[in-house]
Structure 1
Amino acid sequence: MTPQRKLDLDPAVVGRARRLAARAAEPIIEMARTHTTVSVERALLRLAGLAGADSDGRPWANHLADAVRDQVGLEHGVALPVWDALVNGPHGSLVELAEAAARGRVSFRLPAGTDEANAREAARRAARAGITAIDRRRAERDRVLAEVGDPAQPWIYLIVATGDIYEDIPQAQAAAREGADVVAVIRSTGQSLLDFVPEGATREGYAGTYATQENFRLMRSALDDVSRELGRYVRLTNYASGLCMPEIATLAGLERLDMMLNDCMYGIIFRDINPRRTFIDQRFSRQIHARAGIVINTGEDNYLTTADAVDAAHTVIVSQLLNERFGHEAGLADAQLGLGHAFEINPAIPESFRLELAHAQLVRELFPDAPLKYMPPTKHMTGNIFAGYLLDAFFNLAGVMTGQSIILIGMMTEGIHTPWLSDRDLALENVRYVRDACGGLADDFVPRPGGFVAQRARQVLSESIDLLEEICDDGLLNAIADGTFGITRRPADRGKGLDGVAERADGYFNPAIEILDAEDPHARHGVPTEEVPA
């Protein structure tokens, strides 16, 4: 249901903001369309079925992509050299080819003539098989949703990540039984800086659990079991960000994850990943998410942990408008744009709750069909657990009053330590109480025309337009370098991963991009739901 318009926003002003965002985004889109990265190329190999790692844990996808890069470069893509070697060599599979390449026993080339045509056809078949597998997992989700039912919004979003996937599973199932609709398995600290995806089930992680294909498979299976037990679908979230964004997105599609944190700005600002590298990676990863029916979560809430939530409110709106444009260009539907924002205004500021309502209602009305993800207070959780619990209740109330779609639970000990299970239970009780007690309050909450809330919302939108005009003049990469978002400066020629970027040459070929660019990501592509096995 489309939310009511309550702020009396001028449609012409909103339209201008979107047009400016499209102009500001266009140079970045063009850069992503004319460049590739090592992770985009490795994602193709993984999509084609290459899995596994050597005895030291280095993935075969890395071995193979690095061998091609060292011998012929990345500017033409890995597809032609790799499938030329497969078609014309003695290796029976991508794994065998990667093992030989790791030992220095393969000579790669850019094929021509009939050899090029044969390599193209073989690569296309392999990419098509991988994309068809993703289509089948999407159809499987549709079937399970039809079988067990979809919970009503707002969905309660809860983080479970002990570092040990076999500890995460029972905790995630217990959280679902206590009311969680979305379980997020956040990654081990620093995984976003690894230029490879770890392999297999993992039992050691710091402040999170490693994102691996096997961990995805195990958790999805466990949540399917508890979904059938509860009679409602429990969604699984992980993170597709960092130096392996395209690969993790691909693995998520293959293992039927439902949501993914997918916002290169988080990696740029908070992990110092090169802006060019991660914008290029972001486009491919979002194309995969669009095809897989995965809802992305963007990271604007993080800006407010470093910048002031009042002074920088317009930077959140600007980033959301840019993310909307980037998402649409990559094929994401509005229903997949889980744009992020947060309840992070200092509670000591007079009228802080009214300001929060203004910001949240503005986001809700600018993006009426997006499943917005609303983040709880963290910056001003002082260690006073009673004040913290009250602040979380105000956050939950704001979320219900403004019709947010996904509410991440706030925990009273957030600012003290990793919350205990008992703290999680209290947090779930808090959000359940507010949601149940105030369920229809969004229908009754209508800010006074011309009042404080409406005026503040229009002020933030006006400031957003001013900033977008500056970005159109100076460029988004320069705005990021100047510290516009999250008050952290990240120049375009610095940061981790820049050496993994290559400008596409004439004749660049990546069959996965070819397919994703050409086809509607939301068409069935010949995979009826009823044909998907249970």
Structure 2
Amino acid sequence: MAHQPRLRLDADVVARARGLARRAGQPVVDIARSHTTVSVERATLRLAGLAGADPDGIPWVNRLVDAVREDVGVAHGVAAPVFHALASEGHSDLVALAQKAASGAVRFTVPDGRADAEARKLARAAVSHGLEVVDAKRVERERMVAEIGDPQQRPWIYLIVATGDIYEDIPQAQAAARAGADVIAVIRSTGQSLLDYVPEGATREGFAGTYATGENFRLMRAALDETSRELGRYIRLTNYASGLCMPEIAALAGLNRLDMMLNDSMYGILFRDINPIRTFVDQRFSRQVHSRAGIIINTGEDNYLTTADAVEAAHTVTVSQLLNEFFAHEAGLPDELLGLGHAFEINPDLPDSFRLELAHALLARELFPDAPLKWMPPTKHMTGDVFRGYLLDGFFNLVGSMTGQGILLVGMMTEAVVTPWLSDRDLALQNVRYVLNACGGLAEDFHPPAGGFIDSRANLVLCEAVELLEKICDDGLLQAIGEGTFGIMKRPADGGRGLDGVEKRAGDYFNPAVEILDGGEG
């Protein structure tokens, strides 16, 4: 059924907002297209088939890229030096080459002439094979959804699992799916964003979450496939492609058929103090991989409202959504893979707080009618009063139903008190089921009057967003981030973690993954 507008938004203002977002975002895209990072180069070698780690747990991909970087840097890309060494020195495979490089037994050069052509040919073939695996996983998902079936209702119910031990996460995730969850998110271990390597293998110790690794992805996907067949609906799996290893985690997600990945253009900058240039270069590559894999990205605008006031800063959420949309489209992601985020975070003691929440949620729905918006529950104003919290979550669920959100993260009444018990989760799911069963059709009936409170508030936020975008276009997005425009965090372009892993591409830069993803080849 086609989307029916329920707000009286000025089409010219909406078009101006999108045009300004393009103008603000394009200089950042230009930077991303003219730079590379160690994490982009490592992701490329992962797609070429390099896996495993040394006895200390350092991945071979890190060892190999570090060795190339020490000899010739990464400005030329690592693929040609690596595959030139592989061909000219008779190493059996990339792992053997990485092992010798780690011991100092290999020296890398940037090949030229016929040697360069041969190295590029080998690199393209290896990376193309990796992307063929990603393509096959996408087809496999589509086939399973067709055979097993999708959840009948929207929004999809999104529930978090995070024990730290993948072997405990699995039965909890399966139980959550049986209790009604449509999407399982495995929260990453605290601080993994700041690791400049991806841990190897299945992990059993994490801090407020479980490490994102290729093996953990494989194990959880296989377990949820079993449960999907049992329940007769495909259960989607989510993790986090963010932080210093964003491109690598995106590649691992594509290779292991994850379905959603948290992948915001500015979250790592604002909340993990990762260098802005590093983040924008990495996020463009990661989104290209997500597009190829058919993975829905979830953006992180909800986080702004945990640090800034949800009423005063509402327009910054809209601005970020518009920027995330531009960056996603430029990287090849269509609207149906664009899970833009927003949240129910207005102080409930504020008069008309519920009406304001409705206005903000409906504005997002109207601006992005074909995107599976991700609606996030109250956290900032959860006080520890579980009865009040349960009521707030009910109101949050009601807004999600009335405004036709796509993905609804289940709110917990024990938020800000303890890590939720399984019984807390069951009660939270009961809350969701009651509201969706009782009010699932309200999106069809809810049409606020023209010029009324909700309609006027939504238009005001949109106009404030346009004003801010105009300022960003004048000053530049990087400067706006440096001045604390989003989430009140000030992050200058020459600061933050990971800047030393960024290099401007040389004139002969070669990266077969970038080549294929940019050109749609392979």
Report the TM-score, using the length of structure 2 for normalisation: 0.99
TM-fit CA distance, 1:264: 3.4
TM-fit CA distance, 1:2: 3.8
Contact 1:80/1:123 (<8 A) preserved: yes
Counterpart in the other structure of 1:426 = 427
Structure 1 counterpart of 2:135, one-letter code: D
Q: What SS is found at the alignment partner of 2:207?
A: coil
Pairing of 1:268-347 with structure 2 (within 5 A): 268-347=269-348
Structure 2 counterpart of 1:511, one-letter code: P
Contact 2:262/2:299 (<8 A) preserved: yes
Q: What SS is found at the alignment partner of 1:264?
A: coil
In 2: Cα distance, 1:147 partner to 1:495 partner: 47
Q: What SS is found at the alignment partner of 1:260?
A: strand
Deviates further, 455-464 or 413-422 = 413-422
Pairing of 1:69-84 with structure 2 (within 5 A): 69-84=69-84
Structure 1 counterpart of 2:351, one-letter code: P
Counterpart in the other structure of 1:492 = 493
Structure 2 counterpart of 1:46, one-letter code: R
Cα deviation digits, residues 381-440 of structure 1 (max 9, x gap): 000110000000000000000000000000000010111111000000000110011010
Counterpart in the other structure of 1:87 = 87
Contact 1:193/1:243 (<8 A) preserved: yes
Counterpart in the other structure of 1:532 = none
Pairing of 1:56-75 with structure 2 (within 5 A): 56-75=56-75
Counterpart in the other structure of 1:528 = none
In 2: Cα distance, 1:225 partner to 1:483 partner: 46
> Within the alignment, does 1:42 sit opposite 2:45 as a pair?
no
In 1: Cα distance, 2:200 partner to 2:16 partner: 47
Structure 1 counterpart of 2:184, one-letter code: V
Q: What SS is found at the alignment partner of 1:290?
A: helix
Counterpart in the other structure of 2:6 = 6
Residues 1:33 and 1:193: Cα distance change in structure 2 (over 3 Å): same
Cα deviation digits, residues 221-250 of structure 1 (max 9, x gap): 000000000000000000000000000000
Q: What SS is found at the alignment partner of 2:5?
A: coil
Contact 1:28/1:279 (<8 A) preserved: yes
Counterpart in the other structure of 1:370 = 371
Cα deviation digits, residues 164-187 of structure 1 (max 9, x gap): 000000000000000000000010
In 2: Cα distance, 1:70 partner to 1:196 partner: 17
Counterpart in the other structure of 1:214 = 215
Contact 2:265/2:324 (<8 A) preserved: no
Structure 2, gaps ≥5 residues long: none
Structure 2 counterpart of 1:43, one-letter code: A
Q: What SS is found at the alignment partner of 1:105?
A: coil
Q: What SS is found at the alignment partner of 1:114?
A: helix
Cα deviation digits, residues 116-172 of structure 1 (max 9, x gap): 010010000011000101000000000100111011311000000100000000000
In 2: Cα distance, 1:444 partner to 1:122 partner: 59
CA RMSD of aligned residues (A): 0.7
Structure 2 counterpart of 1:51, one-letter code: A
Counterpart in the other structure of 1:234 = 235
Counterpart in the other structure of 1:529 = none
Structure 2 counterpart of 1:446, one-letter code: H
4+ long deviations beyond 3 Å: none
> Within the alignment, does 1:408 sit opposite 2:394 as a pair?
no
Counterpart in the other structure of 1:450 = 451
In 1: Cα distance, 2:326 partner to 2:267 partner: 17
In 2: Cα distance, 1:490 partner to 1:358 partner: 30
Cα deviation digits, residues 454-503 of structure 1 (max 9, x gap): 00000000000000000000000100000000001111100000000000
Q: What SS is found at the alignment partner of 2:97?
A: helix
> Within the alignment, does 1:175 sit opposite 2:176 as a pair?
yes
Q: What SS is found at the alignment partner of 1:56?
A: coil
Q: What SS is found at the alignment partner of 1:236?
A: strand
Structure 2 counterpart of 1:326, one-letter code: F
TM-fit CA distance, 1:90: 2.2
TM-fit CA distance, 1:263: 1.1
Structure 1 counterpart of 2:452, one-letter code: G
In 2: Cα distance, 1:390 partner to 1:512 partner: 49
Structure 2 counterpart of 1:116, one-letter code: D
Contact 1:22/1:325 (<8 A) preserved: yes
Structure 1 counterpart of 2:257, one-letter code: R
> Within the alignment, does 1:99 sit opposite 2:71 as a pair?
no
In 2: Cα distance, 1:372 partner to 1:332 partner: 14
TM-fit CA distance, 1:3: 2.8
Contact 1:3/1:364 (<8 A) preserved: no
Counterpart in the other structure of 1:461 = 462
TM-fit CA distance, 1:67: 0.4
In 2: Cα distance, 1:337 partner to 1:2 partner: 18
Contact 1:138/1:256 (<8 A) preserved: yes
Counterpart in the other structure of 2:249 = 248
In 1: Cα distance, 2:93 partner to 2:221 partner: 28
Counterpart in the other structure of 2:112 = 112
Contact 1:3/1:403 (<8 A) preserved: no
Cα deviation digits, residues 41-85 of structure 1 (max 9, x gap): 000000001000000000000000000000001100001100000
Report the TM-score, using the length of structure 1 for normalisation: 0.97
TM-fit CA distance, 1:4: 1.7
Counterpart in the other structure of 1:356 = 357
Q: What SS is found at the alignment partner of 1:270?
A: helix
In 1: Cα distance, 2:230 partner to 2:188 partner: 27
Indicate the percent of aligned positions where both proteins have the same amino acid. 72
In 2: Cα distance, 1:2 partner to 1:178 partner: 31
In 2: Cα distance, 1:280 partner to 1:155 partner: 31
Structure 1, gaps ≥5 residues long: 526-534
